[in-house]
Amino acid sequence: MLALGPVEVWNGGRQVALGGPKPRTLLVALLLQLRQVVPAERLVDLIWDESPPQSAGALVHTYVSSLRRVAGEALVTRAPGYVLDVEYSDIDEFTRHVSLARQAERDGDPATAFRHYEQGLALWRGPALHGIDANFARGHALALEESRLSAQEGLGRCELAQGRFEDAIGRLSALAHSHPAREDTRLLLMSALYRAGRQADALNVYREARAYLLDELGIEPGEKLQTLHRQLLAGVLEMPPIATAPARDVVVPHHLPPDISDFTGRQDVLARVLAVAGAPANTTSTPTVVISGFGGAGKSALAVRAAHLLRRQYPDGQLFADLRGAERDLRSHEVVGRFLGLLGVLGKDQPEGIDERVELYRRLVADRKLVIVLDNARSERQVRSLLPGNPNCFVIITSRSRLTGLEGADPVELDLLEPEVSAEMLSRIAGEQRVKAEPEAARHIVELCGGVPLALRAAAAKLLARPHWPLRTLAKRLSDERRRLDELTVGDLAIRSSLRLNYADLDAQHRTAFHLLALLDMPDFGAWVAVPLLLVDLDEAEDVVEHLVELRLLDVAGVDHIGRVRYRFHDLVQLFGAEQASLDDDVTAAVGRLLATWVTLVEAGSKRLPRVTLGLRPRPGVDEEVDPRLVEEVEENPMGWLHSETGAVVRVVERAHDLGVDEITTTLITSLLSSSFSARNEFDGWQRTHDVALRAARAQGNTAAEAVVLAGLGQLRYEQDDFDAALTNFQQAADGAELVGDDATLAVALVGLGTVYRDLASFDLARSMLNRAVQLGDDEIVAAAAYGLGAVDRDLGDLAAAEAALERSLSLYRKLDDQRGTALALRGLSLCHRASGKYLAAVESSREAEALLRAAGDELGAVYAVQSLVKASLRAGLFEGLDDLLAECVEVCGRQRDRFGLALTTRTRGELSLALGRPDAAELLSEALGLWTELGAPLWRARTMRDLAAATSDAETWTAALELFRSLGVREAAELEGMTAADWLSSTRLP
């Protein structure tokens, strides 16, 4: 149990939770009377400071029960109260060392006394009983603090006794400065100064002490201090003999940095480190742990905490070396020299050669149990000569690299902190109440620090330095990416400085790669992108990227859909890399080459995927030589490749525009991506790339490129079922294309206009646009326009003309070897067959369309084929399994955010229920009607109202449906003439 600092309990190498403040207070009350019975009534008084609640007795019992889960058999009930008997208490250990030190002083052995004082003081981790606010605890804390100061003075006495006057002066001066009222400290300091030949300085210490005591307390110095002052003035102070220096083999080094009281999380990895230290010694090798991780991940803090916790297990001392000094890396020669000095070998006695130094070092530690911490190691070579070479010692190495070449070492990898642990760390440093008061701002700060302990510590330190700041102020400042690294700099806490350590290890090629990849800010990427960026081959590109991973400047994101490793930057590393980039990196040319490579690869993939949108090709194209292996990857699995690369290419298109790079290529790649976006209803990437391309075209005054992009935006809006926006974009595209004489883009825009007008039941406008497109376009355009004209004729009731147009469309699509277009035309013919009563032919056409679409990987297109198959099967009396087919359709439409498809399949479910006489028909049809109304599709509204009127026997809805059919001039107006809702219901019901 640890109380010389924040109160902690450790069990089996793991820190355990103690609960709230009252259970902690009870535990401390028992600890301060260790192995003694403390009556329950006394515990009540101690915990509640003489003002207990009525339920105090019961609460004590509850607290004891909860603490037993922590302390186990160490906490027992013994009338009339409780006894705590822990295996180890740092208060006991401190008291033991101080007692031994004082005995050694009495025995005239200042070297041994010094060692015990030092070991006792090394146990302190902060103010005693920190976090316990009861009156009794404050009193005991003051007493323990007095013992600590007395031990500090004891160190000074021992240094004086050994003739180490300058050491004593340094120690006692600091103590006198921080505790100016301690006269014993002044006595020792005056003696040390006098014996060092500095009589004037010694007298000045007295004058300062007297002035302080008079000014602050209104009293003269004590008799001892006055007597010493008179002796110094008279020069009659006796000079006791100097004790013999301690023998080398009794020096116990305690050279660890202080532990931190707000250490948070990492209990699992801490337990792993301690477990290696405590493993049975069944080998002759030195147990060694390598803690690796991102810069600022808390590797050093973890190593130091583990070393402090292992002091009892390794009683012969602790050695620590930071292998990356403030100015340069430390050489092994220097570090071994420092260790020898800490082990008692004076500089003049140390060998010059590194081999001889290592030999002496290993001989000195051969029979000792030491913890050796080697912090910030760069490589295996740097630490090999520092390993003790015996199984008695335990070595902890921290490094940003994994040091996998270090034989026999146990690797411990530090990940970034989870959000909950990050929030706890922020709370412990900045203040729990302050963080609780602004939970949203705290969460935002945690998110922006990205799980990096150093960043969280810097953010918390900034809040401590500005207690008047609301947390939202810091959150807002951190949100500015240009300032984030500046905001995460407080004193010597700086993310930027931490990252510079690894950045300094990069050669020119790796720096260029780091700069360019950081500037592009891709969500993740494959190593191949370094090929065009650096003009290297694929193997070298992989080596460059992997080296950035080894230096912790890049993370592995996982494996993509085609089995390649993907990489990504931590947000803070990306910001650092981008700010290091310069004009020397030739950004424009490098990013232009990457875009050109992407054009080639996207086009290779698009050729092997179903074309969902009509092709748009700005001119001119690009010509970039691409590694055949990259093209083969695309062609083997184009859908998987596009799925993996879409996020990266979308971001690069945006960044290329921001950087003013190769706008023609940007427009081309945007157009090439449209069909793959449409096939997956990937609206976000589609929108982002087209927004960039439109800004670029307009900035350049390039009307032709603008028309191409506007046509693509029209296709996007149509797929989003935003018919008004689609009309606007298609019309703007048509106007621009006509202005510059681009018939190809004009034809695409006209087909788009005709398609939207058809869905809006504006059949004359639809026919006009589609006929004009036929006159301008190639076979692909004519096939699409013929499909639209067939749909118009079918809706208007001219089924012969509709079949002829759709047969023409089917023939052209087959000529073009366009599987998706072929399936689309087959589905259209299925609808004609169903309308003319050829139900089995309709079933076969729909099945053929579905098979083609599934083979092409067009999941959403297959939904429409299945919907038409269900309708045809229903009319043909083949209704088994139709519910399952429609349920699958609804799921796909919902997942792909296809509102039109969702409305269509919901209506079909209602029609199926209507035909089968099920009670949910009205509910489903009402839902579908709401969706059609939201979409603004009048013909589909009328068809759904007709079915809903039949399901509900609602004459008013029936009349409204008929009026809408008549106003649209569609075939249903004639088909329903003279019929009632009941008649229609009878015609839909299965026999």
Model confidence pLDDT, tens digit, residues 169-200: 999 999 999 999 888 899 999 998 988 888 88
Distance between CA atoms of residues 972 and 966, nearest Å: 8
**Length reported for the chain:** 991
Name 321's bridge partners. 374
Give the pairing of strands 318-322 and 38-39.
Answer: unpaired
Distance between CA atoms of residues 737 and 749, nearest Å: 9
If residue 309 lies in a helix (H) or strand (E), which one and from where to where?
Answer: helix 299-309
Chain-centroid distance, C-alpha 954: 57
Distance between CA atoms of residues 353 and 676, nearest Å: 67
Read out DSSP for 858-900?
-HHHHHHHHHHHHHHHHHTT--TTHHHHHHHHHHHHHHTT-HH
Q: What is the pLDDT of residue 242?
A: 53
Q: What is the pLDDT of residue 610?
A: 58
Which parts of the chain sit beneath pLDDT 50?
Answer: 244-249, 326, 619-621
CATH number given to 163-234: 1.25.40.10
Phi, psi of 255 (to 5 degrees): -115, 25
- SS3 percent helix, strand, coil of the chain, rounded to 5, is 65, 5, 30
- The two tokens of residue 919 are 């009670």
- The two tokens of residue 723 are 């018919």
Phi, psi of 633 (to 5 degrees): -60, -40
Tell me the fold of 9-149.
Arc Repressor Mutant, subunit A (1.10.10)
- The two tokens of residue 221 are 């110095």
Q: What is the pLDDT of residue 247?
A: 39
Domain 9-149 and domain 163-234 have a common topology = no
Phi, psi of 104 (to 5 degrees): -65, -35
- Coil vs helix vs strand at 6: strand
Q: How many CA atoms lie within 13 A of 307 on its CB side?
A: 36
User: Domain residues of the chain, as ranges?
Assistant: 9-149, 163-234, 267-414, 419-498, 506-658+681-692
If residue 707 lies in a helix (H) or strand (E), which one and from where to where?
Answer: helix 703-719
314 in Cβ contact with 370 (< 8 Å) = yes
780 to each of 770, 802, 814, 911, how far by Cα in Å? 13, 19, 11, 35
Which of 491, 420, 418 is closest to 457 using CA atoms? 491
Tell me, yes or no, if the pTM score tops 0.75: no
Name 11's bridge partners. 14
Does the 267-414 domain belong in CATH 3.10.310.10? no
Does the 506-658+681-692 domain belong in CATH 1.10.10? yes
CA 94, 95, 101: angle at the middle one, nearest 5? Answer: 90
Q: What is the pLDDT of residue 474?
A: 93
